[in-house]
Structures are given as C-alpha cells and as structure tokens.
Structure 1
Amino acid sequence: MNKKDECAIFQDLYELYIEEEVEEETKQWMMEHEVECAHCQNSRKDSEGNLSLHEDSEKISGIRIMTMSLYSMFLFLAIWMSVWYLW
C-alpha cells in the first residue's frame, strides 16, 4: 500500500478512531501512522476544528428549536386569552 492510500484510509477512519470504535489492531496502526505522517497530523488539526464547528451548529439548532417553541407557546396563549376575554 502506498503512502497516499494509507493517508486516505487514515482520514476515513479518523472519526471512528477518536470515538474509539475501531479494533485494537487498527487503533495501533493509526497511532503509528499519525506519528509518522506530517500530512495526517495537519489534517487532524483541521478536522478537530471542524468537529467544534459541528458541535456549535448543533447548539444553534437547539436554540432555534427552543425559540420557536417559546414563540409558538406565546402565540397560543395570546390567542387563548383574546378568546377568553371576548366571552
């Protein structure tokens, strides 16, 4: 296997490696490759930044859902109070 193929495999398995969902033999190979390959070390740093961006987007999505839920509840209460007042 050439260096380019090894790097491609490393990049494909990196997220599973971080989550420790790879077999022990694969984990050992990835640790060795990570130490030897400067390209994969740089890519790893870039992907760690992307993971934090993904976490931030999940938080923003949660905030949007909460805001829309509160807005909907406020709208429901406003309509309910208007109808109740007219009776």
Structure 2
Amino acid sequence: MNHREKESVFLDLYDLYKERELEDESMEWMKQHEPLYQKNAEGLKSESCSKSIEDESQIRHMKVYISSMYTCFILLAIWMTVWFYF
C-alpha cells in the first residue's frame, strides 16, 4: 500500500478506532499509524462539521427562496383573477 492508500484507510477507520470497535489487528495497525495521520483525521472531522453548518445555512436560504417564490406566484394569481373579472 502506498502512503495515500494508508491515509485513506486510516481516515475511514478513525471513528471506529476512537470508539474501540476494531479488531485487535486493526487496532494495532491504527496505533502504529496514528502519529502520522491523526492531524489529518481531526482536520477532516472539523471540516465536515463546518460543511454541515454551511449546508444547513444553504438549505435555510433555499427554503426562504422557495417560499417567497410560492408567495409571489399566489399573489400574481390573485391579481390576475381580480383583474380578469373587472
């Protein structure tokens, strides 16, 4: 395995390693490689947290946009109905 593959495996197993849910062999491998990749794993964790906050913000903005467009459509429909009858 090359360096990138090892790092990828470490990052994939990091949460299970922290919760001690790996087999003995895997735990040993993780302990051996922890000094090399731990900073990347913690950085990835904080990055994913900030991404989820950003995603929630984008979802909130999209909901506001959709509800405002829906309101505009309803007001336009009411205006056209009233204009048609007078």
The alpha-carbon deviation at position 83 of structure 1 amounts to 1.2
Matches of 1:80 and 1:56, distance apart in 2: 36
- Aligned CA-pair RMSD: 2.7
Matches of 1:18 and 1:85, distance apart in 2: 63
Q: Give unpaired runs (5+ residues) of structure 2.
A: 17-21
Summarize deviations over 1:32-86 as a string: whole Å, max 9, x none: 3432331211111111111112212321231122112101111101101211222
Matches of 1:32 and 1:64, distance apart in 2: 46
The answer for the alignment partner of 2:71 in structure 1 is: 74
Moved over 3 A (4+): none
**Higher relative contact order, structure no. (Cα contacts within 8 Å, ≥ 6 residues apart):** 2
Superposed counterparts of 1:32-43, under 5 Å: 32-36=28-32, 37-43=34-40
Cα distance change of structure 1 residues 28 and 76 upon mapping to structure 2, 3 Å threshold: farther
Report how many residues are paired: 77
Q: Give unpaired runs (5+ residues) of structure 1.
A: none
TM-score by length of 1: 0.64
Q: Would you say 1:53 and 2:20 are equivalent positions?
A: no
State the identity as a percent: 8
Flag the structure with larger Rg. 2
Cα distance change of structure 1 residues 64 and 19 upon mapping to structure 2, 3 Å threshold: farther
